Structure 1
């Protein structure tokens, strides 16, 4: 039924959203392998999995000869880098592609939020506690410096946030949230901006300050 609604005969990448503690991982991986074997799905991935969960699932798949997770989608941006501790290192070792979501921290990394005015009218930051948690003096300072850094190179803060992610090891794509078509067009420009290792180092120094 899902394929009919999508008007397709297969899904290129089918991702499991979050670890299910109530279902044995053997059942999950076997069911996913059946989808791949039947031709309905080409590749499988995971979303919001911890490194140990990915390792357990893929080890089981390898032992049984089943399809393994080839991607993991997780929360990652300039101000949220927890996945660099375990998840991304696992992805590097096991050659798993990493797909970040919330690349703009709910809009905070667009550079349109200011410490004087706060969240723009109608933005997610007006109502989302998730975004409000980033609205600290330290983070405003970082975004101000990064915005200036990007503008010196004729780019926007939003483009920089995406380009920085695309420059990270194992990142194969970025899930970019948007509310307007022009946001999609602006964010797509980041794909043409390939940061050098030196530039990434400069950005990381600003973020670490």
Structure 2
């Protein structure tokens, strides 16, 4: 067993780390530099949280800025009502907006926020309206990273790419990315962009954590092949990897929703207790291990982590440490990789 070290200029987060400076990484092979931990803004404006209003949102964003987080990821569908997260984030950043990277997403159902979409949320007409709305709510003149939130299977990817390319050339968008695409869809978009001469996607935001490693099969290899930076979300698997849940115990003062209760009832507690022991033996928290494992993938540019309290933000920001090859092998024993699809 080795003792993990906090990432620094001389002890990178991984043995082949893509860090350009301590705590900062390039977004794939693009020139955009982001913090290795980003603030996921899905809780800004979310009902039932302390970040549902401006005071709570301001406190969390302020904590992120103070902790050195430079990457803020939101979407037009986040918040108790669509668009609220973007509005709160833009107001909270204020004059410091130019010092950070603001990413947002479009493509989910937002109940007519961007006008009637008729299910064609990858169309030129819809994309232009969605971007104009996001710019207005964020209070900015450009979006640093615009991401297609989910594939639009009814609209040709050529149309989507050309619309995004026009927005880049107009200066309203600087970089483009996508979310929730399969490996073959990543490859398809890359080859189409090359063929028609448009801007290419620079990032892939996908579900990845120790409990769900399916993205390692084809998404991460595709991202590596085409130079995309991976932005994993749900790094703590809905809290199961956070250490706040224990077998047979509900967190103090918590009110478990039906879905969360089901999650705890179906959890593999033997596995989670082995995970807790692994972290304890190395003087780490479960959160530090979960984030550090994600950051150990060279394709990962920033771990997207949501928070509702300033202290959570500070904890997340300093969570990434260097894991040795022995540590990673031990984690493979606890959380086996997903079975391969191909025979070889």
Structure 2 length as normaliser, TM-score? 0.56
Equivalent position of 2:237 in the other structure: 105
Q: Residue 64 of structure 1 aligns with which residue?
A: 196
Q: 1:190 aligns to what?
A: 319
Q: Structure 2: how far apart are the matches of 1:133 and 1:112?
A: 14
* Displacement of 1:147: 1.6
The 1-side partners of 2:304 and 2:285 are apart by 18
1:203 CA displacement: 1.5
Number of aligned residues: 205
Q: CA deviation at 1:146?
A: 1.8
Where do 1:127-206 residues align within 5 Å?
127=257, 129=259, 132-133=262-263, 135-136=265-266, 139-191=268-320, 193-206=321-334
1:26-105 matches, within 5 Å, as 26-105=158-237
Aligned to 1:122: 254
Distance across 2 between alignment mates of 1:62 and 1:128: 47
Between the aligned partners of 1:167 and 1:188, the Cα distance in structure 2 is: 16
Cα 1:128–1:182, aligned 2, differ >3 Å: closer, same or farther? farther
* CA distance in structure 1 between the aligned counterparts of 2:224 and 2:159, rounded to whole angstroms: 26
Give, in angstroms, the shift of residue 122 of structure 1. 2.6
More helix, by proportion: 1
1:6 Cα deviation after fit: 2.1
Residue-by-residue CA offset, 1:70-99 (whole Å, 9 max, x unaligned):
111011100001111111111111121111
d(CA) in 2 for partners of 1:152 and 1:41?
A: 46
> CA RMSD, aligned part only?
2.1
RCO comparison, higher one (Cα < 8 Å, 6+): 2
